[in-house]
Amino acid sequence: MFGAPSLTARRAMIELRKKGIFSNEYVATADGVVVAELNRSVWGTRGEMTVQGHRLKLEKQGVFKNTFTLKYDDTPILEVRQPSSFRSRLFFTHEGREFEMRNKAWYSQTMIVQADGIGLGSIRRTGMLSNGAVIELPASLPVAVQVLLGWIAIARWDEAAAAASG
């Protein structure tokens, strides 16, 4: 279920989109095939994901220094953390490697993922008014991790939109 990503691996494209306009349920597809399903809580701090028949939990903790956790049977598999409330960079360790996820630019709806200072790919909003994301990361990075990163991006875009309107 979880393999080590190669820096030279072919990129996969996963589209994460809502099942309906007012739905909190998302479907992740790659080449037209459903690879995962995601159900976000109303407040976006929790969710559930189904990948290859496995049920995983998603949790967000913190307000200024966020930690996003992917769990299997209540056991943490991966933590994505924001160590500083003043910077929007997120970090996680997978298969012994340190990854960074950050905004492409302060005004951008695209997040960049890199490891060892090398850009691996991106997560971008599917459109200006869309609640979906296109995830383009190495195919060797597990689907569950890619969908988790997509969920994080969507949650952050939603928070930024709420802050701008409120």
Q: What is the pLDDT of residue 2?
A: 44
Give the model confidence (pLDDT) of 125-147 as tens digits. Answer: 987 666 789 999 998 899 999 99
Arithmetic mean of pLDDT, 41-51 = 85
Q: What is the pLDDT of residue 86?
A: 67
Is the domain 11-165 a CATH 1.25.40 member? no
Report the percent of the chain where pLDDT is more than 90: 52
Q: What is the pLDDT of residue 166?
A: 63
- Tell me the average pLDDT of the chain: 86
Q: What is the pLDDT of residue 44?
A: 67
Band of residue 100 on the pLDDT scale cut at 50, 70, 90: very high
pTM of the model: 0.86
What does the domain layout of the chain look like in residue ranges? 11-165
- CA distances (Å), 39 to each of 26, 59, 130, 146, 156, in order? 6, 12, 17, 15, 16
Give the model confidence (pLDDT) of 14-39 as tens digits. Answer: 999 999 888 889 999 999 999 999 99
